[in-house]
C-alpha cells in the first residue's frame, strides 16, 4: 500500500511519463471542461487539445485529473495566456516557475505564449494588451522570450496578437517586429489567422500582404477562431477577437492559403465564450482537418516544411 | 533608419507604455491615453474602450464563476453592479484567476445595497472555500482502519495532520443550507435564514463535498486541524456544545476525509 502512495519520487514518476503522441498535421480544439465528459465518452480517433496553462496551475484536484486523462490519449498544446512577455516589466519568476512545472509534468507537443502583456506593476488585467513596436521593446521582448525558453528548456511558439489600437511610438511593422523577434530569440511562431484578419480589418491593411510578410517558415501552429463585430468612433467596422462563434468564411479562406504555402501544420480551433455543444466545436476542427489533409497530399513528397 | 529621438535612446531603458496604457483601463474617469490611435492617427476612444470592456467584463465574469450561488441570490444585474465596484477597487494581484476575489466576501458585507441580505457574505465565504478545496493538492485521506488500529490508551494524545483541501466556514446564519440550495438551483423560500450553520468543505475522493457540521463539530475539527491532541479538542467541543457526539464526529471526519495521517506520539 505504502509503496504505491510513495510513487511521487522523481525516479518513479519518470516511469509514469505520458506516451509521445505525434501532433503533426492534426487539427485540434480548445479543451473546455464543459466538453470533458463528451470527449472522454467518445474518445475521438485523432486530434489534439489545447489548454490554457493558468487553468492548471492549482496544486491538485479535478483539473489535473482531467488533463492527465486527456494527455494519456492525445497530444496536448500548452498555451500560456498571462506571462506578459510583451510587457515592459520583468517576467514574474514565480509564474514562470509554475509554467515550467506544467511543461515538465505534461510533456506538451506544443508550448506557446502571446506577443502581448497583461500585468502592470502588481495589477493583473486579464486581457492581452498591445505594445509599441520599437527597437526598445524588441530588445526587451526578445530577452523575455529567452528567459522563458531557458526556464522550460525548449523553444516556444509566439502568437501574433489581434489589436484595436496602434501606438504612435511604433517604428516598425508588426511582421518586421515578429520576424526579428523570432530571429533573435530562436522562438517559433503561432500564426493566429483570425487575429490577422481582425487586425487587418481594424487597421485597414491587407491580410494577404501581412501573410506574405510573415515568416511562415517559423510557424509551428495555427489558430482559428470566431470574431464579433462592432464599430469605431467614425462608425467604421471594428472586429473583436471574441472566440465566441464559428470561424468566419474569410478566415477559412486565409487558412486555406496558409496551408497551401506552409503545408499541414497543427491547427487549433479556439472557442472560449458562449461555448457550444462538443459536436459543434468538433465539426469546426473536422473542417480544419479536411483542409490540412487536402494540402498534406501536395506536401507528401520531399517537403522541407513537414511538422515534426 | 529610425528617427533620431528613438535611436539615441538606450534600447534597454524600460519603456513606459505599461503605465501609460494601463492607467485608464479600470478607471472610467480617465481619458483615453495619448499613446494610442486608430489608423492614420484617428481617434481611438471606442477602440481603447474595447480593452476597458474586456478587462472589466472578464473580471466580473471571473467573480461570477467563483460565486454562482451569490449571483443566483442577488440576480445577475445586481451581482454585476456589485462585482464591477469590487473589480475597479480591487483588481487581481495574481494572474491565477482562481485565486481572485478572496476579499469579495468582506466587500459584500460592507456593500451598501446588500445590507438586507446579511448572510450573503458567508455564502460567498463557502463558495471561496469550495474553489480553494477544488484546487488544493491531492492526498490520500486517513482510513478508518488506520484510526481503528490505535490502542485505546493512546487515543487522548492522538494528533491529526489535515488534508490540504479541508476548509471550515462558520456562520451565524443558515449559510450552508442557502449555499447548497442555490448551487443546486433549488427553491430557497422555505429556508430559515438565521439558524447558525457551520460548513465543512473537503475533497474525500475526486469531488468537493460541503457538509453541515453538527453542534460542536467546527470547534472540534478546528482544534484538531490546529494540531491539538484529541482529548483537548473533545473538551473544547463539549465546552461549547454539551450535546457534542464524539463517535459520530469521528466517523464523519473519516468519511469526509478531513485528515491524512495520525501521530500517536509513538516514535516507531
- Interface check B77 vs A, CB under 8 A: no
> Which of B21, B56, B97, B102 is most worth mutating to test chain A (most A CB atoms within 10 A of its CB)?
B21
Instruction: Kindly determine whether residue B21 and residue A130, on different chains, have CB atoms separated by under 8 Å.
Output: yes
CA separation for the pair B125, B105 (Å, rounded): 6
Cβ neighbors of B46 (< 8 A, separation 6 or more) are A230, A231, A232, A233, A238
Residues of A in contact with B58 (CB under 8 A): 126-127
CB atoms closer than 10 angstroms to residue A44? 16
Q: List domains and CATH numbers for chain A.
A: 23-299 (3.20.20.150)
Among A88, A117, A162, the residue to mutate for chain B (most B Cβ within 10 A): A88
Interface contacts (A, B; CB < 8 Å):
175
Best residue in B5, B14, B15 for a mutation probing chain A (most A CBs within 10 Å): B15
A159 contacts A145 by C-beta, under 8 angstroms: no
Query: Which segments of chain B have a pLDDT < 50?
Result: 1-9, 11, 267-268
User: Do residues A303 and A261 make contact, with C-beta atoms less than 8 angstroms apart?
Assistant: no
CA distance B107 to B115: 11
Q: Residues B209, B244: contact at Cβ < 8 Å?
A: no
The closest CB to that of A62, out of B40, B134, B140, belongs to B134
Q: Which residues lie closer than 8 Å to B234 by C-beta, 6 or more apart? A: B220, B244, B246
pTM of the model: 0.91
Residue B2: what pLDDT? 39
Check residue B3 and give its pLDDT: 40
Check CB contact under 8 Å for B46 and A230: yes
Q: What is the pLDDT along chain A (308 residues), one digit of tens a residue?
A: 333 333 334 444 445 578 888 999 999 999 999 999 999 999 998 899 999 999 999 999 999 999 999 999 999 999 999 999 999 999 999 999 999 999 999 999 999 999 999 999 999 999 999 999 999 999 999 999 999 999 999 999 999 999 999 999 999 999 999 999 999 999 999 999 999 999 999 999 999 999 999 999 999 999 999 999 999 999 999 999 999 999 999 999 999 999 999 999 999 999 999 999 999 999 999 999 999 999 987 765 444 444 43
Phi and psi dihedrals of B213, rounded to 5?
Answer: -75, 140
What per-residue confidence (pLDDT) applies to A64? Answer: 97
Cβ–Cβ below 8 Å for A166 and B59: no
ipTM of the complex: 0.91
Instruction: Please tell me if residue B207 touches chain A, with a CB cutoff of 8 Å.
Output: yes
The CA–CA distances, whole Å, from B87 to A123, A202, B71, B99, B101 equal: 11, 28, 15, 14, 9
Parallel, antiparallel, or unpaired: how do β-strands A123-129 and B209-213 relate?
unpaired
> A267 to chain B nearest CA, in Å?
26
- DSSP symbols for chain A: -HHHHGGGSHHHHHHTPPP----TT-EEEE--GGGHHHHHHH--SS-EEEEEGGGG-SSSSHHHHHHHHHHHHS-EEEE-S---TTSSSPP-HHHHHHHHHHHHHH--SEEEEES-EEEETTEEEEEEE----SHHHHHHHHHHHHHHHHHHTSPPEEEPPP-S-EETT--S-HHHHHHHHHHHH--EEEEEHHHHHHHHHHHT--HHHHHHHS-GGGEEEEEEE--EEEE-TTS-EEEE----SPPPHHHHHHHHHHHHHH-S--EEEE--SS---HHHHHHHHHHHHHHHHHHHHHHTTT-S----
Nearest alpha carbon to residue B74 among B100, B126, B106, B113: B113
Which among A118, A164, A165 has the least Cβ separation from residue B95? A118
CA dist list (Å): B4 to A134, A171, B14: 13, 11, 18
Helix axes A135-152, A174-185, angle to 10 degrees: 40
Amino acid at each position: 500500500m505504502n509503496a504505491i502512495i510513495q510513487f511521487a519520487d522523481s525516479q518513479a514518476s519518470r516511469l509514469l511519463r505520458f506516451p509521445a503522441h505525434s501532433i503533426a498535421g492534426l487539427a485540434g480544439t480548445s479543451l473546455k471542461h464543459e466538453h470533458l465528459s463528451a470527449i472522454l465518452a467518445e474518445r475521438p480517433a485523432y486530434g489534439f487539445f489545447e489548454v490554457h496553462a493558468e487553468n492548471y496551475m492549482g496544486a491538485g484536484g479535478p483539473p489535473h485529473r482531467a488533463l492527465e486523462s486527456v494527455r494519456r490519449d492525445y497530444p496536448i498544446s500548452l498555451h500560456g495566456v498571462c506571462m506578459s512577455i510583451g510587457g515592459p516589466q520583468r517576467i514574474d519568476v514565480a509564474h514562470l516557475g509554475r509554467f515550467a512545472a506544467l511543461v515538465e509534468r505534461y510533456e506538451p507537443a506544443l508550448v506557446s505564449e502571446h506577443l502581448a502583456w497583461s500585468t502592470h506593476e502588481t495589477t493583473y488585467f486579464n486581457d492581452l494588451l498591445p505594445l509599441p513596436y520599437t527597437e526598445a521593446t524588441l530588445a526587451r521582448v526578445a530577452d523575455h522570450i529567452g528567459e522563458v525558453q531557458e526556464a522550460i528548456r525548449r523553444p516556444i511558439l509566439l502568437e501574433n496578437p489581434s489589436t484595436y489600437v496602434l501606438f504612435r511610438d511604433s517604428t516598425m511593422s508588426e511582421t518586421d517586429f515578429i520576424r526579428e523577434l523570432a530571429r533573435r530569440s530562436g522562438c517559433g511562431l503561432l500564426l493566429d489567422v483570425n487575429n490577422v484578419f481582425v487586425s487587418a480589418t481594424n487597421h485597414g491593411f491587407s491580410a494577404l500582404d501581412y501573410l506574405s510578410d510573415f515568416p511562415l517558415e517559423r510557424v509551428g501552429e495555427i489558430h482559428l477562431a470566431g470574431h464579433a463585430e462592432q464599430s469605431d468612433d467614425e462608425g467604421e467596422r471594428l472586429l473583436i477577437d471574441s472566440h465566441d462563434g464559428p470561424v468566419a468564411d474569410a478566415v477559412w479562406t486565409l487558412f486555406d492559403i496558409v496551408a497551401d504555402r506552409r503545408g499541414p501544420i497543427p491547427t487549433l480551433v479556439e472557442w472560449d465564450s458562449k461555448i457550444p455543444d462538443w459536436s459543434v466545436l468538433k465539426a469546426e476542427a473536422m473542417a480544419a482537418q479536411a483542409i490540412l489533409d487536402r494540402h498534406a497530399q501536395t506536401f507528401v513528397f520531399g517537403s522541407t516544411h513537414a511538422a515534426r | 533608419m529610425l528617427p533620431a529621438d528613438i535611436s539615441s535612446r538606450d534600447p534597454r531603458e524600460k519603456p513606459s507604455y505599461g503605465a501609460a496604457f494601463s492607467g485608464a483601463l479600470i478607471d472610467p474617469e480617465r481619458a483615453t491615453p495619448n499613446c494610442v490611435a486608430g489608423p492614420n492617427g484617428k481617434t481611438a476612444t471606442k477602440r481603447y474602450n474595447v480593452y476597458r470592456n474586456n478587462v472589466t467584463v472578464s473580471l466580473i465574469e471571473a467573480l461570477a464563476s467563483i460565486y454562482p450561488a451569490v449571483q443566483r441570490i442577488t440576480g445577475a444585474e445586481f451581482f454585476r453592479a456589485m462585482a464591477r465596484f469590487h473589480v475597479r477597487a480591487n483588481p487581481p494581484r495574481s494572474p491565477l484567476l482562481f485565486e481572485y476575489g478572496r476579499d469579495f466576501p468582506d466587500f459584500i458585507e460592507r456593500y451598501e445595497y446588500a445590507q438586507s441580505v446579511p448572510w450573503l457574505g458567508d455564502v460567498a465565504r463557502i463558495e471561496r472555500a469550495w474553489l480553494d478545496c477544488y484546487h488544493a493538492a491531492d492526498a490520500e485521506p486517513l482510513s478508518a482502519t488506520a484510526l481503528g488500529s490505535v490502542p485505546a490508551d493512546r487515543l487522548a494524545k492522538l494528533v491529526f495532520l489535515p488534508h490540504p483541501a479541508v476548509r471550515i466556514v462558520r456562520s451565524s446564519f443558515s449559510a450552508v443550507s442557502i449555499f447548497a440550495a442555490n448551487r443546486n438551483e433549488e427553491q430557497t423560500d422555505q429556508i430559515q435564514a438565521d439558524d447558525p450553520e457551520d460548513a465543512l468543505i473537503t475533497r474525500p475522493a475526486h469531488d468537493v463535498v460541503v457538509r453541515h457540521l453538527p453542534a460542536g463539530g467546527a470547534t472540534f475539527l478546528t482544534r484538531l486541524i490546529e494540531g491539538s491532541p484529541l482529548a483537548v479538542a473533545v473538551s473544547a467541543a463539549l465546552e461549547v456544545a454539551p450535546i457534542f457526539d464524539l463517535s459520530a464526529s469521528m466517523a464523519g471526519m473519516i468519511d469526509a476525509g478531513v485528515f491524512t495521517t495520525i501521530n500517536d506520539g509513538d516514535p516507531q
